[in-house]
Amino acid sequence: MLVYSAHLPEINRIAKTKYGQLRGAWGDTQTITVFKGVPYAKPPIGPLRWQAPQEPDCWEGIRDAREFSGRSWQPEDTDPNAFYRKEFRANPVQNTEDCLYLNIWTPEVKPGAGYPVMFWVHGGALHGGYGFEASFDGEAFCRKGVILVTINYRLGLLGFYASSQLSQESTDHVSGNYGYLDQIAALKWVKENIYNFGGDPENITVFGQSAGAGSVMNLVTSPLSRHLMRKAILQSGVFLFKFGSPGGIGMGFSNTPDIRSMEALGDEFMASLGCSSLEEIRKLSPETLFTAPGTGFGGKFNFGPCVDGYVMEEEPALAFRNGHYADIPYMVGANADENELTSLAKSPEEFLAQAQMTFGADTQRFLDALKMEIRTPKDVKEALKKLDVMRTGSQVFAQMQSLKNRKDTWVYYFCRKLPGDTKGSFHSAELWYVFNTLRRCWRPMTPQDVSLADAMNTYWANFAKNGHPNGGGLLEWPAWKDKDPKEMYFNENSHMEKAQLSSVREFILNYITEGEQI
């Protein structure tokens, strides 16, 4: 193999972009080329910290693109046995503010070849993760005639900090949402340059998982980006409501704050650091910012997306209800054991308090829909299983799509219990299968897992190619219809089942669409 690849024409690894030429690396398969660490914006450092991404500078000659960049600044997980670190991020990767890079796997560096493009947005609660984790690899997609693009984007404080001074400085008079602006900039870069890598700029599928799926919700609803894609996949992240948050639906569905409240929080954070100007706070190191009291996921200064009227005109879940989003084919789904790694209510008192916080005056309607008494911790666990936020979001979205006579939606339910421990079909378990990267996983995968991974990767590739997942001898997967709703069950014996909209899901559907004609 090495002798053969050494004689392959060097030109096969060279691609032109608007900014200069790139030299990629051979993939594991000799004909596949990987371009790593490709800049899609200027480094967001110094005066560009907390500014919208700027176009990258041009370069002369051929830029080397054979090594991944660092990852966006994020808190270090120092415990090597922490679940997600062990699962996906065992190898250390350097944090850096200079993080706005993407990676491209292509079957053929041939301008105009017309390969469909899949644009991946990683998860991690908008606080962690990166675009080249162990499970993310484009080799399997390339073997099926699809280009894969993965990206890094700014996270946490560096990605979503807002303040009144930043809004005054901005020509758009807003601040925050820089991580979302990064994603949009990367998508625009792909739209403008992927032709020269063999891709079809008019056939881009955006897909993501968890916070990455939430990011896809923003991409398909934002006026800055909803025209840039032709299909979308949301894995464990159709966030139509957030249980345990104030006004879970009635006040913005998943509780994205408005820009004024985020600016006020940012002003308070700046003062807590002893800074009075943007110049001062921009001089602080990322280490200082990320270790400041109250920062981090769950802290007081937990900066995330905000409704700013520019990037986000309205809460994405509200946009879904109102039909203000891309009318394109969708695939959506969830995993069977999403709740196993979350910190939802454990006691009846906690559960009832979270229900009251979420549904307010409609709490009793919600409890009636559960059709059970909440008296013991066992009852709480059963009630949360009935609520099943991720799966409920997927089914309710598909039902809304069908009732509105919009483009088709395909719904899946991943219920393969992964070998190696007792976590089952945990949140993000499907990633090894979607990307067909089982060989990189520490788990003792079986021939059944290998078959499932090949099937799921093929369904995803088919969707990118054709706007539906079917073909290639796979089990037929019909789209969801309001009168005949069906889900694909992915496990060692994958099959279709007729979906039943439970009384809880009917309540959520009615609550979301209340007062709307659909």
* 474 φψ region: left (φ > 0), alpha (ψ -120 to 50), beta (else): beta
Per-residue tens of pLDDT for the chain, all 518 residues = 333 344 455 657 999 999 999 999 999 877 899 999 999 999 999 999 999 999 999 999 999 999 999 999 998 876 766 888 888 877 789 999 999 999 999 999 999 999 999 999 999 999 999 999 999 999 999 999 999 999 999 999 999 999 999 999 999 999 999 999 999 999 999 999 999 999 999 999 999 999 999 999 999 999 999 999 999 999 999 988 778 655 443 333 456 899 999 999 999 999 999 999 999 999 999 999 999 999 977 789 999 999 999 999 998 888 988 899 999 999 999 999 987 656 578 899 999 998 888 888 889 999 999 999 999 999 999 999 899 989 999 999 999 999 999 999 999 999 999 999 999 999 999 999 999 999 999 999 999 999 999 999 999 999 999 999 999 999 999 999 999 999 999 999 999 999 988 999 999 998 888 745 43
Exposure b/e, 261-300, CB count within 10 A at least 16 = b = ebbebbeebbeeeebeebeebeeeebeebbebeebbeeee
Q: Dump the DSSP string for 230-287.
A: SEEEEES---S--TTSTTTTTTTTTTPPBHHHHHHHHHHHHHHTT--SHHHHHHS-HH
Amino acid identity for residue 93 in this structure: V
Q: Which phi and psi (to 5°) does residue 245 adopt?
A: -120, 150
Q: Using DSSP, how many helices (H) and how many strands (E) does the chain show?
A: 18, 16
End-to-end CA distance of the chain: 58
In 3D, which of 252, 236, 248, 478 has the Cα closest to residue 338? 236
pLDDT of residue 247: 41
What residues have CB less than 8 Å from 157, skipping those under 6 apart? 73, 289, 290, 295, 301, 303
CB 110 within 8 A of CB 33: no
**Cα Rg for the chain, rounded, in angstroms?**
23
Q: How many residues does the chain have?
A: 518
C-alpha 319/C-alpha 327 separation (Å) is 12
What tokens appear for 57 in the block? 């500078």
pLDDT of residue 167: 99
pLDDT of residue 71: 97
* Domains of the chain with CATH codes: 17-188+199-226+259-306 (3.40.50.1820), 329-518 (3.40.50.1820)
- Indicate the burial class of 422 (C-beta count within 10 angstroms; 0-12, 13-18, 19 or more): exposed
pLDDT of residue 481: 97
pLDDT of residue 342: 62
C-alpha 287/C-alpha 73 separation (Å) is 9
CB 235 within 8 A of CB 210: yes
